[in-house]
Amino acid sequence: MKKYIILFLVVFILVAAIYLLNMLGIISVKGWTKSVMMSTPVVSEYIKTDDKYDKLMLEYRVLNKRYENLQAEHKQIEEKYANARTELTNQDERILSLTEQLKSINAEQQTAAEKLDKLVQIYSNMEAAQAAQIFNTMNFDLAMQILARMPDEEAAAVLSQLPPDRAAELSQGMND
């Protein structure tokens, strides 16, 4: 039993001495343990070292920051895309509205042109003196449009039957 007590005391003194030397910085148990572990081929693959860990953490932070930046950029692009789609839809609606307005205006112009052609035909078939009496009291713009569309000989006959000042006004208006 004495042997065991002596062995225990020797081991205890040895451990206490190593601990004390480690605390005083004379030896480094951690460094020695690390070098022993890293020199063992199978174990070294599974033990993290501070250098490897720090390098991987730095890479992780860089990649994570890059991922966050890409997420923010993706969100901005999606917002721009949504805004562009909305604007495109609005422009499509405006184009359709303007197209309908254009059709309506064209129809009105065609109707107005047809009515004017009908008036031209009516006044062309009238006697020049009778047409001149009507042209003398008619709206200036309408009279000018009708005369401009009438065949030249018939328009000349109507103008010759009008009072000179009215004939001059209509002639000057057709020339402008």
Number of domains in the chain: 3
* Token pair belonging to 57: 């953490």
pLDDT for 135-171, tens place per residue? Answer: 888 988 888 888 888 998 998 898 899 898 988 888 8
Is the pLDDT at 106 greater than 70? The verdict is yes
Average pLDDT over residues 84-109: 92
Its domain, for residue 102, covers 49-112
Q: Give the pTM.
A: 0.44
Answer whether residue 117 is part of any domain.
no
pLDDT for 24-75, tens place per residue? Answer: 888 877 777 766 666 666 655 666 566 777 888 899 999 999 999 999 999 9
Spell out a b/e string for 16-43, using b for 16 or more CB atoms within 10 Å of the CB, else e: eeeeeeeeeeeeeeeeeeeeeeeeeeee
145 neighbors 116 (Cβ within 8 angstroms): yes
Same domain, 96 and 54: yes
